[in-house]
Structure 1
């Protein structure tokens, strides 16, 4: 089954589709504005046609010819238009013509219209639900309805689906009119707070009666990795994995990549030694300002908070290792995002860290792939 990945980033979301063993999904196209992200996408989807550039300037006819995918041939279209694409959604204009005036969302909708996929998934930030008091998402659904597609959307917490991270995303499903749209049901239980949204039917939550296993914790995800200190780096594993999550990420991988810790200054090391759940744990004389989550340590017995693009720098977010005095390494961040250890990243350490922080967890893609397979 053929998959297109728009605004693909590293391709983590679509990699989840290919990792789902219950069906044969093949990613055949990816496009993103950032060249480093596309290079990463190509390393992990070597057979796909990949383009770096502004999606509004790429002809869909050329994409069709390059991928040999014509209207009606595409099984699944996935992607997350960047938030700025919602600021000025207008009534949908473009039919099959390439229109450089489209917003990024309209470009996504134009791909739906041009290729007529059997199924599409639009993922985005939770804030989309309340953007312009909910008018934006209503307009989006009306747009797809005009194109002949039924849609529904929900808010998912990644911790409920096997990801060791409390990362919440808005997921919209779409299929030709008359289709039944089904969302995945939670695989893990986590009782912590979730996003506040007035319509609770839009939030997928596990039930106490489901008797689910608890969510994967931070240390259950990264506890088998070598315990290095500030500024240190290793390229070999020094212990066996001790749970299924670690075994599944390691597979038969022998070389440990990206396990390099940021070299912290003496002052930062002093701050880190005081770190706890929030910034209030730090003596006031050591810091001048910061958000409540800055200079904070992750809980070892809970899923991690949402990983950001700066998770190797404690001054910007909550990213200090649960038991060691340093920030997370890129490999630990990738583990918390559910990337397998053999997933290849392109770029320098800073570029790779940003790619990891911006990714959609592959395991979230995998559970959605299961629902798509049942549909198709």
Structure 2
């Protein structure tokens, strides 16, 4: 079950790992659920406020009850942590619940073997760490052993230095393990005062914050390795066919199930002034002549480096004024297709809605390859005998 599912990128990663069937998804945004349904056709998908959907209805529609669900995943929105209280009861639904409490209520009702919660890194230090402690206490009161780590998506094949907090939970006494690294990354991490909370594999010597063993792994996937098979388009242009064969394993994997038709590869039509600004773009806003801009954050009007993973993709990655999203070689912002590639969506993943809605869905998503890496850990947890908890 995928709660606060958005497009369903997280659960698509679980599905791609093999061994999982996505049975339910719920999100408050109608267009996101349309996308979820298009890619999880067998799931019971619900649009609406999770606080107003009865667990008994979900149980009836899916045919699943207590103990029948293996895994519940999801990312409660940040505002869901503003009023965490001791978990009150097993009441089917309660409109007073915070959004996090709704996640906990699903867990309490269906009693999955495993729970996975992903969120922003800031949750680790929110309210001085008291919030994450309350979350752990809530799940413990429900009979689950939990641990959390900060992970970097570039360590799992995603061409993006996207950091997330991942919390894993297992029924009391079960086996708990975090995903195995597939790629080494030289990217710095946000960090945490407790280094044991950093589940990060880096190139030896790249950062003092890195932890984990240093065995030989392939380098992290770069921006060019992710997108340079796509046709060249300039400001305001569209390409609807692939012109080149895949140049990297990553590109081959993203195109494996797609036809000759290419979707979402349309560039924003930039104004003459914006094109002049873009022509000066570099690592940060300081590369832009002062007379061309009036203000902006350091990452505004800046160009991605082609030889390393992208910075975190946001919901405005087609607009250079908002974040670091200018193509490494061309004078334009990324296209929606390039953003989807950097988020590790396969080219045949179906997005619903207009262009602006699709861009936001892409930027908000959990990268499917990160979901796939976590799913493999969950598979091992489901099949492993009861052993000591991860410390």
Equivalence for 2:27: 32
Residue 352 of structure 2 is aligned with which of 334, 346, 349?
346
CA contact (8 A) 1:185 1:204 kept: no
CA distance in 2, matches of 1:289, 1:298: 20
1:237 aligns with 2:242: yes
1:153 aligns with 2:153: no
CA shift, 1:196, in A, is: 2.3
Equivalence for 2:10: 13
CA distance in 2, matches of 1:86, 1:123: 13
1:58 aligns with 2:53: yes
Residue 311 of structure 2 is aligned with which of 305, 308, 311?
305
Task: Give the number of aligned pairs.
Answer: 371
Deviations 1:54-103 (A, max 9, x none): 00000000000000010000001000000000111111113133111000
* Structure 1 vs Structure 2 CA RMSD: 0.8
Give 1:109-128 correspondences, 5 Å limit: 109-128=104-123
CA distance in 2, matches of 1:329, 1:30: 28
Normalised TM-score (structure 1): 0.98
CA distance in 1, matches of 2:188, 2:377: 26
Q: Which runs of 5+ in 1 are unaligned?
A: none
Equivalence for 2:385: none
Normalised TM-score (structure 2): 0.94
CA contact (8 A) 1:159 1:216 kept: yes
Q: Which runs of 5+ in 2 are unaligned?
A: 205-213, 383-391
CA distance in 1, matches of 2:113, 2:91: 17
CA contact (8 A) 2:23 2:42 kept: yes
CA shift, 1:191, in A, is: 1.6
CA shift, 1:24, in A, is: 2.0
Residue 362 of structure 2 is aligned with which of 346, 350, 356?
356
CA shift, 1:115, in A, is: 0.3
CA distance in 2, matches of 1:170, 1:196: 11
Deviates more, 1:185-194 or 1:300-309: 185-194
Equivalence for 1:268: 274
SS at match of 2:150: strand
Equivalence for 2:225: 220
1:284 aligns with 2:290: yes
Equivalence for 2:211: none
Residue 205 of structure 1 is aligned with which of 200, 217, 242?
200
CA distance in 2, matches of 1:93, 1:342: 43
CA shift, 1:169, in A, is: 0.3
